Amino acid sequence: MRFYLRREERTPAPAAPPTDDRRPFGVITLTWLALLAAAALRHEWLDATGRGWWLWTCAVGAGLGVLALARENHRRSR
């Protein structure tokens, strides 16, 4: 059994199938937004226990999700 094929024996890689990534980006963004709302409601407790950074983590996650959705919508419109 051979583990290596010479360049001339290799077949080209198939093209990647088109995907619609808006749904997973949307679900993940909504999850970050829900976590952001929960963290905002408990902000005083999070600060008192030294976990105030959780709020900002959720905000950054939601922001990146919005950017990913915008990029995907722009990519799909072309």
Identify the pLDDT of residue 9. 84
Identify the pLDDT of residue 4. 84
Residue 8 lies in a domain: no
Residue 63 lies in a domain: yes
Summarised one tens digit per residue, pLDDT across range 5-47 is 888 888 888 998 988 899 999 999 999 999 999 999 999 999 9
Residue 31 lies in a domain: yes
Confidence of residue 77 (pLDDT cuts 50, 70, 90): confident
Residue 13 lies in a domain: no
Residue 61 lies in a domain: yes
Q: How many domains does the chain have?
A: 1
Range of the domain at 57: 21-77
Residue 50 lies in a domain: yes
Residue 11 lies in a domain: no
Identify the pLDDT of residue 31. 98
Q: Are 57 and 36 in contact (CB under 8 A)?
A: no
Identify the pLDDT of residue 7. 85
Residue 9 lies in a domain: no
